[in-house]
Amino acid sequence: MLYVLRRLLQAVPTLFLVIAASFFLMRLAPGGPFDLERPLPKASMDNLARIYGLDQPLALQFARYLGSLLRGDFGPSFSFRDLTVVELFARGLPVSMTLGALALMVALVCGIGLGALAAFRRGGFWDRTSGLLAGASLAVPSFVVAPLLQIVFGLTLRWLPVGGWEGGAPGHLVLPVITLAVPQIGSIARLTRTALVETLNAQHVRTQRAMGLPPARIARHALRAALIPVVAILGPTAAGLLTGSVVVETIFGLPGIGRYFVDGALNRDYTLVMGTVVLVAVLVMILNLVGDVVAALLDPRARQRARLGR
């Protein structure tokens, strides 16, 4: 508990750093959100700047932004008129979360399955096959996987729609979730294999074998121990899924956070881009923490250390 509290406290300066860095980075860049091909008259530009508070000194703007963030207000979006960033999140977050959660599940099941298969049949046919699959999933980028899936399942076989969201209809979810999961499957499989091979050679497993425990029980024990590092990389995995969502949502035309982020960035929508960066950073930090805590709970040695107050 104390550990969680300390981690949360440590997250505050990190978050401040993130906000400050992206805020000043964006403002120092040339160009503004209201630049059009044919420039607006000066008076209109001044009005717009006043309405959005862009005429104030930069430091004051930053302080104001921080203040409104503390109240949970991410400000109005510059490019989606009449909508606030929070409203955009309310629309996009369910889409991205659904995709991300499903992809995470698929990646965990397939990745752990492949990795375990490789480790239990070490050096054999399955080990090589699974290694090959893992390597391929890491080497084929999602922006190649997605069009391939679209060609095969969408255009040739006509089993599944090529894109669109349609309120999250199951058929529309399949291809994006697979695309999102593929690169994670590879890394989870590799990690599982390495950890499991190490565990299977460990003393306690040898002891269990010597005691004549049935192989299935040994496998269960070993797998449980080997899953600790997999859980521990929950944060990086989540970051990978969020990054992937940018591509996946663009290719499949899904109204999620990643898509809003790209659109917002291209339109110099300061508040939307800032908001997304903050949101994503918070999400990844929380999942990092969750991953570490769960990994610690699974690991009896870490539990022991925690009890001793380290």
Tell me the number of residues near another protein by CB under 8 A: 45
Spatial distance between the Cα atoms of 136 and 152, rounded to a whole number of angstroms: 18
User: What is the full DSSP assignment across 19-81?
Assistant: HHHHHHHHHHSS--TT--SSPPPHHHHHHHHHHTTTTS-HHHHHHHHHHHHHTT---B-SSST
Query: By CB under 8 A, is residue 25 in contact with another protein?
Result: yes
73-83 in b/e form (b: 16+ CB < 10 A) is ebbbbbbbeee
Spatial distance between the Cα atoms of 259 and 80, rounded to a whole number of angstroms: 13
Closer Cβ to another protein, 130 or 150, answer by number: 150
Shortest spacing between CB 138 and another protein, in angstroms = 6
Spatial distance between the Cα atoms of 262 and 242, rounded to a whole number of angstroms: 13
Query: By CB under 8 A, is residue 174 in contact with another protein?
Result: no
Shortest spacing between CB 97 and another protein, in angstroms = 15
Build a one-symbol-per-residue string for 225-254: x at contacts with another protein by CB under 8 A, - elsewhere.
----------xx--x--xx--xx--xx---
Shortest spacing between CB 281 and another protein, in angstroms = 6
Query: By CB under 8 A, is residue 175 in contact with another protein?
Result: no
Spatial distance between the Cα atoms of 276 and 243, rounded to a whole number of angstroms: 12
| φ and ψ of 88, to 5 deg | -65, -40
Query: By CB under 8 A, is residue 30 in contact with another protein?
Result: yes
Binding site for another protein (CB under 8 A): 14, 17-18, 21-22, 25-26, 29-31, 135-136, 138-141, 143-144, 146-147, 150-151, 155, 235-236, 239, 242-243, 246-247, 250-251, 261-262, 265-266, 268, 273, 276-277, 280-281, 284-285, 288
